[in-house]
Amino acid sequence: MSTWPQCAMIYDGTFSGFLTCVAESFRTKEYPFYFLPPGTEQISLYPLREIHTDPALARTVYQALETQVSAAFRRIVTYSFLTCLPQKERHIFDVVYLGFLQALPQDMTDDRLLILERAVHHLTHEAHQYKGFLRFSDYGGVLVGQITPKNRVLPLLRPHFCQRLPNEAFLIHDKTHREGLFYADHKWKLRPVDHLDLDRPDQAELECRALWRRFYNTIAIESRHNPKCRMTHMPKRFWGDMTEFQEDPA
């Protein structure tokens, strides 16, 4: 257990901001017990430290995660920040603190490591599912897909869809985290998207959706209809964004 005095850190919620918090913690020898978003009015028993993101300092810490520990360690730290793990910053910092002090447990069943490993597995599994469950619609030559993931899966989906659709222009909108992956002319960007207003699909798109629903229903074998089995392979929480489960407007 650290002997550093504890504090609460307010930061902008970005990965660069979190790495800046790590650097400031080691500089001031203070152990952050809470990580809070900006504008927080929460009463804290710990001294509040407002940390302003320093991209250069964050890059230094990011490189140190590999040079001072390992590439695998940097990966689990980076991926853990994309998860929906409650109080993820605190759990990540606990492990980073041990890693930089060369006190990282070698036993992967250690609770501090295991909680991150499980969160990362949940993240990567969800991203893998969306590679098959994501549905695109054509809006004037731009493919648009909307998802409602639990984790921030867009950074993991980017390589797959940019390679699969290299000559297309597309947008994947994460409604949960209000961000979008934009791709066009072999270039991509991740940008905040608070709300996405889409025009009504044209007739060609509506007909394409109808054909896809007809195909999905036609290949089903009625005598083998098993809703529980289907939900095992295709969890129900994905259905709301999948064309084949949406009502036919006709």
Q: What is the pLDDT of residue 41?
A: 67
Q: 31-71: per-residue pLDDT in tens?
A: 999 898 877 666 678 888 999 999 999 999 999 999 999 99
Q: Name which residue leads in pLDDT, 200 or 171.
A: 171
CB proximity list for 182: less than 8 A, separation 6 or greater: 171, 188, 189, 190, 191
Q: What is the pLDDT of residue 5?
A: 93
186 exposed, middle or buried (CB, 10 Å; 0-12, 13-18, 19+)? exposed
Over 60: is that where the pLDDT of 250 sits? no
Percent of the chain whose pLDDT exceeds 90 = 64
Q: 97-151: per-residue pLDDT in tens?
A: 999 988 887 776 788 899 999 999 999 999 999 999 999 999 989 999 999 999 9
Q: Name which residue leads in pLDDT, 160 or 215.
A: 160
**DSSP states along 43-104:** --SSPEEE----HHHHHHHHHHIIIII-HHHHHHHHHHTTS--TTHHHHHHHHHHHHHTT--
Q: 148-180: per-residue pLDDT in tens?
A: 999 999 999 999 999 999 999 999 999 999 999
Q: What is the pLDDT of residue 218?
A: 82
One-letter amino acid at 124 equals T
Q: 68-85: per-residue pLDDT in tens?
A: 999 999 999 999 999 999
Q: β-pairing, 6-10 with 48-50?
A: parallel
Q: What is the pLDDT of residue 54?
A: 97
Closest CA to 35 of 65, 56, 14, 58: 14
Q: What is the pLDDT of residue 248?
A: 61
Q: What is the pTM of this model?
A: 0.88
**DSSP states along 188-232:** EEEEE-S----PPP-HHHHHHHHHHHHHHHHS--GGG--HHHHHH
